[in-house]
Structure 1
Amino acid sequence: MSRKYFGTDGVRGRFGEGAITPEFVLKLGWAVGRILGTESKSRVLIGKDTRISGYLLESALEAGLTAAGVNITLLGPMPTPSVAYLTRTLHAQAGIVISASHNPYTDNGIKFFSADGLKLPDQVESAIEAEMEKPLTTVDSANLGRAEKMDAEGRYIEFCKSTIPLKTRFNGMKIVVDCSNGAAYNIAPYVFDEMGADVIAIGNQPNGFNINDGVGSTHPEHLKAAVLEHGADLGIALDGDGDRLIMVDDQGNEVDGDEILYIIACSRMREGELKGAVVGTLMSNLGLEHALREHGVVFERTNVGDRYIMERLFKKGWVLGGEQSGHIICLDRTTTGDGIVSALQVLAEVHATGRSLRELSAGMSKYPQKLTNIHLGGTSAQEIMESDLVKRSVREAEVEMGSSGRVLLRPSGTEPLMRVMVEGSDGEQVEVLSSQIASTVEALVTG
């Protein structure tokens, strides 16, 4: 469904441009208050990450919501999943997070959660967009909303700890935790410390400008070096708003979202708790699909984006899904992707089995994967997708690889690019076939 302001993950953009200006955000807060704050004594929670622009946008949202007669609880810097959890448990009408996730500090965004801690349904987003087109009117003085602050870190820390067995302890385990100079800086190290681990915290000195800057899940090289330097058992890297997770084993090898999803799925199987299939995306590594198949677990794919994974899980009544980027959804533990909760599931499996992260991830062999981005120029994505030459090139590659590989051709959702992805068990074959398909697409683009 087309959206004027909302994307698949709220409203995002470069600060000071388009939808991320103070004027727009004030109006957005008012519209959200008008649609979601219809109950008496309505309350909306607002959290944010550590970007310098968060202060200004928080004030704009506060002004808009209170003008609509909605009370606000300001949480300060808190991970996105913590706001989803607190919205649900504090019985608020909605939760709002000011964050652009893994993007640089110059960007910002606004994410929304419904009263049950889930992303807003399409019809609610449509209603908010329709309200945005109306002139802003303020309620009378007697009905203006109020704002209060709440220190909620302790509540969320205890919730995270409750997602693994009560007697689990990480005593004797040395862990490096990279907080990405983001929203989890004052929470993540304490979660693992209180579980008994020896914690070395990095990326925990936010200054408003250094979020995701060379640290966190998008830059795991910093974590790899720290794990090796300190002789740690493993490393944990979150992104700027704390909903994604990448890990590093004791030898400095990266463990991505596909491997993390595999480990958690195996843990649920061992405990007899895996319900239904596991859900990934079109970009999930074929090695994950094959490894799960060996355990008798069905793997289904959706379009790229956690929203689509969540939709499939809810539709089927399943509980586990995730993306290669590290966005893992454990619906048997919480309502949204949560980097800290996901890391705890992996560490609990390390504790329960006595096997290292390296040993657990070795159960899945990642297939070589080659992704090529081709600029479309003046050619439409549809023209490329429907080209007989391109179809033949893809079909020939699929026949050559058989069940040991796959080809994915898809347009970017945000840029004028065609993405060509080839993966398979034979790395040299992947390189050759990827080059052949990309050349065919490029020839069509250049004419």
Structure 2
Amino acid sequence: ELGAQVEVIHNKPSGLNINERCGSQYTQDLETRVKETGAAIGLAFDGDGDRLIAVDEKGKTITGDQILVICAKVLKDRGELKNDLLVSTVMSNLGLTFACRKLGFKHHASKVGDRYVLEDMQRLGAVIGGENSGHMIFLDNHTTGDGTLAALQLVAAMIREGKPLSELAKQMEIYPQKLINVPVKAKPDIAAVPQVMEAIRQVERHLGDQGRVLVRYSGTQNACRVMVEGPTNEMTEKYCKEIAEAVKSALADPENIGPSADDWRF
């Protein structure tokens, strides 16, 4: 109705092939098709349609964090970014925080989960929030994640800015991020485990303001999740492994050690 040419792929469900090589977590086929057709944008939704990940006109995947920054900047320019605030989670890339600072609005990090994003949006008076995974809430339009709504907001941002998605995405630099998942036998307060806390403090001293460390337990598994962000891939991987080894030494179940830390990933 609006004059766009739309091509849909992976739209033949069998009842068994949900998210099979497609959707917001598997964008390879979409990347290829965007480049083959010369499309302006590719839009990838998850199985129940509440998440969006985009592909720019060059075939590069754009993260949920980048989409949030793009849309928040347009709202800011239009005087519609309530309280000059964007809400995401503690798992958002460090580049999002720096981008918000550079673009002139505030960033609040909630606990992981779109329900916590919504709670903090309502508590702090924000109109946009979400997760790097693609859950996005535009509170003036909806109170939950809606991939189609997020896609329309992103396309509208491209039209209003008059720029391709690849250019808009440059507003946020993505910092190298390493994630390691360590099986544990118990979940004591991390602050009460000296060996782990010392490893965290050492890494934080080395990183300074050029990175960050997040160590938290899974809410659904007997696992400790270690995340490190830093200025280079090499440094980020090195420090993440050091903390993961400290967690393994202090908390891992010797009967369920599993793979080496090199393979413990989310």
State the TM-score, normalized to the length of structure 2.
0.91
State the AA in 2 paired with 1:397.
V
The alignment status of 1:265 with 2:38, answered yes or no, reads: no
1:280-331 C-alpha deviation (Å, 9 max, x unpaired): 1010011001100112211111111000000001112211101000001110
Deviation at 1:443, TM superposition (A): 1.4
State the AA in 2 paired with 1:289.
T
Task: Name the SS for the 2:50 alignment partner.
Answer: coil
Corresponding position of 2:17: 210
Tell me, in whole angstroms, the C-alpha distance in 2 between the residues paired with 1:357 and 1:269: 18
Tell me, in whole angstroms, the C-alpha distance in 1 between the residues paired with 2:23 and 2:172: 24
Corresponding position of 2:35: 228
Tell me, in whole angstroms, the C-alpha distance in 2 between the residues paired with 1:211 and 1:428: 36
- For residue 213 of structure 2, the aligned residue among 403, 407, 423 is 407
1:360-405 C-alpha deviation (Å, 9 max, x unpaired): 00110000000000111x3x12165521111011011111111111
5+ long unaligned stretches in structure 2: 255-266
- For residue 343 of structure 1, the aligned residue among 151, 156, 167 is 151
Deviation at 1:337, TM superposition (A): 1.1
Corresponding position of 1:298: 106
Tell me, in whole angstroms, the C-alpha distance in 2 between the residues paired with 1:436 and 1:369: 14
Q: Is the 8 A contact 2:118 2:143 kept in 1?
A: no
Q: Is the 8 A contact 2:229 2:236 kept in 1?
A: yes
Tell me, in whole angstroms, the C-alpha distance in 1 between the residues paired with 2:137 and 2:110: 14
Q: Is the 8 A contact 1:322 1:328 kept in 2?
A: yes
Q: Is the 8 A contact 1:384 1:441 kept in 2?
A: no
Tell me, in whole angstroms, the C-alpha distance in 1 between the residues paired with 2:91 and 2:201: 19
Corresponding position of 1:280: 88
The alignment status of 1:382 with 2:188, answered yes or no, reads: yes
State the number of aligned residues: 252
Tell me, in whole angstroms, the C-alpha distance in 1 between the residues paired with 2:136 and 2:2: 21
Kindly report which structure 2 residues correspond to 1:53-64, keeping only aligned pairs within 5 A, or say none: none
Deviation at 1:267, TM superposition (A): 0.8
Tell me, in whole angstroms, the C-alpha distance in 1 between the residues paired with 2:23 and 2:190: 36
1:186-232 C-alpha deviation (Å, 9 max, x unpaired): xxxxxxxx221111111211222211111111211121111112121
Q: Closer, same or farther in 2 for the Cα pair 1:231/1:373, shift >3 Å?
A: same
Corresponding position of 1:427: 233
Deviation at 1:357, TM superposition (A): 0.4
Corresponding position of 2:180: 372
Task: Name the SS for the 1:200 alignment partner.
Answer: coil
Tell me, in whole angstroms, the C-alpha distance in 2 between the residues paired with 1:382 and 1:334: 38
- For residue 256 of structure 1, the aligned residue among 40, 63, 73 is 63
Q: Is the 8 A contact 1:231 1:250 kept in 2?
A: yes
- For residue 437 of structure 1, the aligned residue among 234, 239, 243 is 243
State the AA in 1 paired with 2:215.
L
- The ranges of structure 1 where at least 4 consecutive aligned residues each deviate by more than 6 angstroms after the TM superposition are none
Kindly report which structure 2 residues correspond to 1:57-206, keeping only aligned pairs within 5 A, or say none: 194-206=1-13
Corresponding position of 1:311: 119
- For residue 129 of structure 2, the aligned residue among 307, 313, 321 is 321
Task: Name the SS for the 2:205 alignment partner.
Answer: helix
Q: Is the 8 A contact 2:181 2:224 kept in 1?
A: yes
Tell me, in whole angstroms, the C-alpha distance in 2 between the residues paired with 1:419 and 1:357: 32
Tell me, in whole angstroms, the C-alpha distance in 2 between the residues paired with 1:278 and 1:446: 39
Task: Name the SS for the 2:82 alignment partner.
Answer: coil
Tell me, in whole angstroms, the C-alpha distance in 1 between the residues paired with 2:33 and 2:191: 44
Q: 354-363 vs 205-214, which deviates more?
A: 205-214
Task: Name the SS for the 2:206 alignment partner.
Answer: helix
5+ long unaligned stretches in structure 1: 1-193
The alignment status of 1:416 with 2:225, answered yes or no, reads: no
Q: Is the 8 A contact 1:285 1:366 kept in 2?
A: yes
The alignment status of 1:392 with 2:182, answered yes or no, reads: no
Q: Is the 8 A contact 1:367 1:424 kept in 2?
A: yes
Tell me, in whole angstroms, the C-alpha distance in 2 between the residues paired with 1:279 and 1:354: 26
Tell me, in whole angstroms, the C-alpha distance in 1 between the residues paired with 2:227 and 2:35: 32
Kindly report which structure 2 residues correspond to 1:3-42, keeping only aligned pairs within 5 A, or say none: none
Task: Name the SS for the 1:201 alignment partner.
Answer: coil
Tell me, in whole angstroms, the C-alpha distance in 1 between the residues paired with 2:61 and 2:194: 39
Identity of aligned residues (%): 45
State the AA in 1 paired with 2:228.
V
Corresponding position of 2:164: 356
RMSD after superposition? 1.3
